[in-house]
Amino acid sequence: MAKRRRRERPDPPGPAGFLVVDKPPGRTSHDVVDAARAWLGIRKVGHLGTLDPQATGVLPLAIRSATKLVPFFAQSQKSYVGTVRLGAVTDTLDGEGAVLERYEGTLPDEAAVRGALEGFRGEIEQIPPMYSAVKRDGVPLHKLARQGEEVERTPKQVRVERLELLRFEPPDLEIAVDCSAGTYVRTLAHDLGAELGCGGYLADLRRIRSGPFDISQALSIEACDEAAEAGRIESLLIAPAEALGFPIVELAEAGARRVENGGDISPGTYDRAKPGMRISAVGPDGRLLAVLELRADRRLWPLRVLPA
């Protein structure tokens, strides 16, 4: 007889929002999600983009009903500062992996590095690394890699808006990267090493921005621990409407009820705006009720309604 699933106790009520954590090295993104669940005493916590265990920096967490807003951040640009180490290739494309090849020749000079970087700006193709969360027939590639398998991966197009050499101290190159969602900086480091003919891997990485969230807003694990113990962790949440950055329409009770039930409303001052415009609908209590979209019929329709 199949065991009945134990019913999870519903989360206690509280505000929705985003908590920006400065992820330390050695912890997975899921480790930080688990920590946030303990800080807040809830289960409904998600993150806006995985960071590798060795990477540090901005890891935005969606709290309570803010998890419903995660798709609105899916294509957000990311910014990183990292170190590429020339002269070797690893199986994971970063410093955590086993060295597959070492280069014994003279490393390229600064002019050669700057010239090679030019070719990685703009629209480029990347092959996802084997040690990644990309799935093949439902199985994450990193699981296949740990079983010693390597499978063919489909190249994908990404965009690198900025790729700048900040420091040249061979064998290390410090770089700054602004890129589209889905860009692997590990792959960028590996491909740069291949282009230079000496190999290379990502020695360290720090994310300093993810969409609207930047490092100035990021809180250390220790700061979050202290805030949770003091009972003020919820005061550190960034409000959903603030994070989204869409224009805001404030609704009276009747309009709020209509939107919460999936109904459309008049666009008001946004009547002449371009169809497709997104707007945050806020209720009388200041809570984000829904994300609305202006349609061709000149009405605002709910794209996503947040539960109370």
pLDDT in tens, 22-75: 999 999 999 999 999 999 999 999 999 889 899 999 999 999 999 999 999 988
Contact 68, 83 (CB under 8 A): no
Query: Does residue 1 sit within a domain?
Result: no
Query: Does residue 176 sit within a domain?
Result: yes
pLDDT of residue 137: 57
Q: Pick out the chain residues at pLDDT < 50.
A: 1-2
Is 52 designated active site? yes
Residue 138 burial class via C-beta count within 10 angstroms: exposed 0-12, middle 13-18, buried 19 and up:
exposed
User: Choosing from 11, 31, 34, 52, which is the catalytic residue?
Assistant: 52
Asked whether residue 83 falls in the same domain as residue 196, the answer is yes
Phi/psi at 39 (5° precision) = -60, -40
Asked whether residue 144 falls in the same domain as residue 292, the answer is no
Asked whether residue 61 falls in the same domain as residue 93, the answer is no
- % of the chain exceeding 70 in pLDDT: 90
Query: 223 CB contacts (<8 Å, ≥6 apart)?
Result: none
**pLDDT (tens digit, 9 = 90+) per residue, 214-235?**
999 999 999 999 999 999 999 9
Asked whether residue 26 falls in the same domain as residue 48, the answer is yes
* Domain containing residue 65: 17-76+213-241
Number of domains forming the structure of the chain: 3
pLDDT of residue 117: 98
pLDDT of residue 133: 61
pLDDT of residue 144: 60
Query: Does residue 7 sit within a domain?
Result: no
CATH number of domain containing 278: 2.30.130.10
Query: Does residue 8 sit within a domain?
Result: no
Residue 280 burial class via C-beta count within 10 angstroms: exposed 0-12, middle 13-18, buried 19 and up:
buried
Rounded CA-CA distance 189/62 in Å is 30
Query: Does residue 162 sit within a domain?
Result: yes
Query: Does residue 2 sit within a domain?
Result: no
Asked whether residue 298 falls in the same domain as residue 229, the answer is no
Query: Does residue 202 sit within a domain?
Result: yes
Asked whether residue 111 falls in the same domain as residue 188, the answer is yes
Its pTM stands at 0.90
Asked whether residue 102 falls in the same domain as residue 175, the answer is yes
Phi/psi at 220 (5° precision) = -70, 160
